[in-house]
Chain A
Amino acid sequence: AQSVTQLDSHVSVSEGTPVLLRCNYSSSYSPSLFWYVQHPNKGLQLLLKYTSAATLVKGINGFEAEFKKSETSFHLTKPSAHMSDAAEYFCVVSDTGGFKTIFGAGTRLFVKA
C-alpha cells in the first residue's frame, strides 16, 4: 500500500532564507513522486516530478527535490524564499500504473518579510 507523510503542517521562514518542506513516502512499487503548490484561491499547479530518471529534480520557481530511496524521502527545497512562495504544498505519490495518486496532508509555507 502506498502512503505519503508530510512531516510539517506549517513552516515559517524569512524572505531570502532557505526553504525545506519534508516528505516521506511508502510504496510497494517504484513510485512516481510529485510536488504541487496551491496558492490561495487558485488551483493546484505542478512544481516538479520524479520519474526514476535523475534523483535530483529541478522544478519551477527555483524549487528542487531529491529522491532518496534509502530514506524513502522526497524533500522539497529552495535556496532563497520569496514572498510569492507563500502557499500550501502537497507531496504526491503515484503507483506505476498511474491509476491511484495519494496526496499528503499538505504543508503551509509562510514567508515573513
Chain B
Amino acid sequence: SQTIHQWPATLVQPVGSPLSLECTVEGTSNPNLYWYRQAAGRGLQLLFYSVGIGQISSEVPQNLSASRPQDRQFILSSKKLLLSDSGFYLCAWIVGGLSYNEQFFGPGTRLTVL
C-alpha cells in the first residue's frame, strides 16, 4: 500500500534561519507531488507541484523553493525564514497525474518561526 511520510512533525526556527522539510512517498511510482501551506484560520495554499524528477512549478513567489531529487522525494526549502512562513505544511501526491484521482496527504509539519 502507498504511504507518505513527512518530517519533522514540528519545528521551531528563528527568523533568518534556513529550512528543509522532506516528503517521501512509498508504494507508488511517478506520482504528482504537491506542497501546501495551511495558515491559521485559512485554507490550503498551493505552494509547489511537481510532475517528475527535477520538474518544479511554483504557484506563489516567495522565499521558499522546492526540489525533487528522486521520483518519490520532494523537499521544501528556504535560505532565510520569515515570520510569515509559520504554518502547517502538507505534502500530497496523486498517482499518474489524473485529475479525477484523489490526493493523499501526509501528516504535515507544523512550523513556527519566532
Complex: A43 Cα to B98 Cα, angstroms:
22
- Over the window 24-49 of chain B, the binary record of Cβ atoms lying under 8 Å from chain A Cβ atoms (1 yes, 0 no) is 00000000101010000011111001
Complex: A32 Cα to B99 Cα, angstroms:
6
Complex: A34 Cα to B103 Cα, angstroms:
10
Complex: A104 Cα to B105 Cα, angstroms:
16
Number of A-B contacts (CB under 8 A): 62
- Least Cβ–Cβ distance between A62 and chain B, in angstroms: 19
Complex: A46 Cα to B57 Cα, angstroms:
24
Q: Nearest residue in A to B98 (C-beta to C-beta)?
A: A98
Partner of A98, one of B42, B90, B94: B94
**Interface of A: prevailing SS:** strand
Complex: A36 Cα to B34 Cα, angstroms:
16
The 20 listed contacts between A and B (C-beta, < 8 Å) are A6-B43, A36-B103, A43-B90, A43-B107, A43-B108, A44-B90, A51-B99, A92-B103, A94-B99, A94-B100, A98-B32, A98-B99, A99-B32, A99-B51, A100-B57, A101-B34, A101-B103, A103-B43, A103-B44, A104-B43
